[in-house]
Amino acid sequence: MPQENSAAGRDARYMLHGYCDLATNRKLGSSVISGGEGIYVYDENGTIYLEGAAGMWCTAFGFGEEEIIEAAVEQLYKLPYYHTLAYKSVNPAIDLAEKLSQIVPIDDAKVHFALSGSEANDFLIKFTRYYNNSIGRPEKKKIISRINGFHGATIGAASLSGIPVMHKAFDLPINNIVHITEPNWFHNAYPGESIEEFTNRLTEELANVIMAEGPETIAGFIAEPITGAGGVIIPPENYYPKIQEILHKHDIMFFADEVICGFGRTGKMWGCETMGIQPSTMTLAKSLTSAYQPLSALIINDQMYQGMEKGCDQIGFFGHGTTYGGHPVSCAVALKVIELFERRNMLTHIQNVSIHFNDHIAKLKEHPLVGQVRSKGLLAAVELIADKKNKRFFEPMGSVAKRVKDCAEETHKLIIRQVPCGDTCAFSPPLIITENEIDDMFGRFTLALDQITDELTKENLINVY
């Protein structure tokens, strides 16, 4: 129980946080982070933590990158705010839209700015409706999404997400969202089913769902190239080629949610490149500004834009927009982030250090508590299991990952994410991480794993071979 007049005590008293048990949060409070430098953050007591999750998968340049801070301050002096609605615009938003349209894998891309990944995905639903209404296909509105995908917290974005706790008590999902099986072979394969058979089954499922719903009713398929918050799920190699063949056949667009995967996280600039996806639209956020300012971008292809413009001719107005979309300070920060990305050869750096990162992850596979590891670029998951040989998961699922995560944080001062896919700990460190820091991060994690393995052995909860 935090002291009533401490920051944690006041936090518990006055703030209502997300993704937590409210009563527990009120009783225990939160740990209050007050500063950071590089890949480390410190709390109000001065305890230093290695941030193995880059905050919420987002601080690409770590904490305290001066050039980004200066870009924000400079823009605040120049023009702290102006909107980009009703025939007005601002230079940083124009420059950023131009830059993004040059670097995304979408020809003649148009860029719409919002503040969060959730908002951008919500707007994607609206744009899809506007587009299809405009071109005379009002029945083509449904979006296929995947169970365990995460696309945000607004009513629309939470509906696209496939995580049950985000739906039930909120009366979601909204209409016209159809969820299908996620490409998670480790959890979803039938006994004895090969990866190839699993991929074929999922492809067939998609084809069947499209036929059952009616291809003329389905506008798009949304996916994170690699599922992040749902467990760092890397689909089998043949999955996207097969999926895209079916989508193409039925004139269904691929909506790529690059909120986590974008900006080098998976080893290439875009998750779409890493996974061989040709998207019609992309949603960007998080590393777009290294999370130093809130900003997201919804990027659409020319076909969608032309349809929307045509609709606007008919309706006379595009009835959509937000006060802060294209905020000059956020856009100035994003421009600086992209400049640093290029000037510092961040992609080469990521490709170099990710070899070392992936070696560590591969070694963890040998640990008695680890059932599966998954990694690409600087994104990884370590899934824990009670019995490796007989593939027995812990019950209740998630309880042991929580113990490891808590032990890593409390005892070894390493912050990682626990994700809702069995017992999984996820890593997505700031992209500036060095090899020595990677050693430090996995050293701390291994200490936590060993400690919890000893405890579980004493409690007779795991089988060690």
The residues that touch ligand PLP, with contacts defined as CB under 6 A, are 56, 116-118, 121, 150-153, 224, 228-229, 257, 259-260, 285
Nearest approach in angstroms of CB 312 to ligand PLP is 27
CA atoms 332, 335, 341, 347: torsion sign: positive
Considering the complex, state which of residue 117 and residue 156 has its C-beta at the smaller distance from ligand PLP.
117
Q: CB-wise, 2 or 225, nearer to ligand PLP?
A: 225
Q: Closer to ligand PLP at the Cβ: 170 or 352? A: 170
CB of 349 to ligand PLP, least distance (A): 23
Question: How distant, in Å, are the alpha carbons of 8, 14, 15, 20, 313 from that of 4?
Answer: 8, 11, 13, 20, 59
**Residue nearer to ligand PLP on the CB measure, 29 or 117:** 117
Q: Which two tokens stand for residue 174?
A: 């909204």
Residue type, 36: G
Residue-wise burial string across 351-385, b where 16 or more C-beta atoms lie within 10 A, e elsewhere: eebbebbbebbeebeebbbbbbbbbbbbbbbbbbb
Cβ 97 to ligand PLP, closest distance in Å?
Answer: 19
Select from 133, 131, 175, 53 the least CA-distant residue to 433.
53
Residues 6+ apart with CB under 8 A from 385: 369, 370, 371, 372, 391, 392, 393, 394, 422, 423
Which residue number is nearest to ligand PLP in terms of Cβ?
Answer: 117
Nearest approach in angstroms of CB 294 to ligand PLP is 7
Nearer to ligand PLP, 158 or 202 (CB): 158
Residue 331, classed as helix, strand or coil, is: helix
| Closest separation in Å from C-beta 261 to ligand PLP | 7
How far is the C-alpha of 160 from the C-alpha of 146, rounded, in Å? Answer: 8
> Cβ closer to ligand PLP: 291 or 456?
291
Min. distance of Cβ 227 from ligand PLP in angstroms? 8
Question: Cβ closer to ligand PLP: 386 or 416?
Answer: 416
Q: Are 120 and 298 in contact (CB under 8 A)?
A: yes
Taking the complex as a whole, the smallest distance from the CB of residue 321 to ligand PLP amounts, in Å, to: 18
Tokens of 221: 């398929």
In order, the DSSP letters of 358-407 are: HHHHHHHTTSTTEEEEEEETTEEEEEE-SBTTTTBPPSSTTHHHHHHHHH
Output 160 or 340, the one with its CB closest to ligand PLP. Answer: 160
Nearest distance from C-beta of residue 192 to ligand PLP, angstroms: 32
